[in-house]
Amino acid sequence: MYKAERKNYDTKRPKEKEMIFGVRAVMEAIDAGKTLDKVLIRRDMSSSIGKELLSKLDGTNTPVQRVPVEKLNQYTDKNHQGVIAFLSPIEFYPLENFVASLYDEGKTPLLMMLDGVTDVRNFGAIARTCVCAGVDALIIGTRGSAAINGDAIKASAGALHSLPICKVENLQNALRFLQESGLRIVAATEHTERNYTEVDMTLPTCIVMGSEEKGIYEENLKLCTDQVRLPMTGVIESLNVSVAAGVFIYEAIRQRNK
């Protein structure tokens, strides 16, 4: 007899202090100005109070995911009322204001943008390198990015508490803004023959790294002013993204110190 396959929603449970359960509790958190990393809402929720919550979330950059109730139950045994919000352990900076403040301070901005890097260990390692090297900020999208949670903080050795993070709704719009603000956008990609040492990063610069699986999203890649690669001579043709990010960052530092 045919038996329908049951989906496995097993997941690692965050600590309860990292989550908020219930519709009204989440709305109160939004009203109080709490920074939310993401919100999970039961897929079939259609109540008026659920619509009110969605309306409040529309005014934020918080990613919202519609999920089966089984997924929500994996996070808590409590009465979640079909809504779980995950608190962000850090505050986010608005990109436009932050870049303007760097120029006001007389700095030559050095930024790092991550496109589709979802592994928290890689994310944390990149953040740690950014802090060690003096990168001004890390830019990520509200969707398709690693969750900034306790694991990410641990992987960064606490660096995420001191590194400004700019979370943007649309990476393409962010890239256009950075270009208009005078930044050189340097993309790390294997689809070029130009060496990473051949681009001038003493100018205001944003380095863009993509995921190890897919690289930089094509539409984002088109908006980058420079496309460069790391030379590979061994049998393995790519580096771990956090290692590659470190190479690019310290090349920029080398050029600026020179």
Distances (CA, A) of 229 to 142, 173, 187: 27, 24, 8
pLDDT given for residue 8 in this prediction: 47
In tens, the pLDDT along 197-225 reads: 999 999 999 999 999 888 999 999 999 99
CA 246 to centroid of chain Cα atoms: 17
At 187, give phi and psi (nearest 5°): -95, 135
Q: How does pLDDT run across 47-73, given as a tens digit for each residue?
A: 888 889 988 888 777 888 899 999 999
What are the sequence ranges of the domains in the chain?
Answer: 16-87, 95-257
Class of domain 16-87: alpha beta
CATH classification number, 95-257, choose in 3.40.50.150, 3.40.1280.10, 3.30.565.10, 3.30.830.10? 3.40.1280.10
Outline where DSSP puts E strands in the chain. Answer: 19-21, 36-42, 64-67, 83-87, 110-115, 137-141, 165-168, 184-188, 205-210, 226-228
91-143 tens-digit pLDDT: 899 999 999 999 999 999 999 999 999 999 999 999 999 999 999 999 999 88
Global pTM exceeds 0.85: no
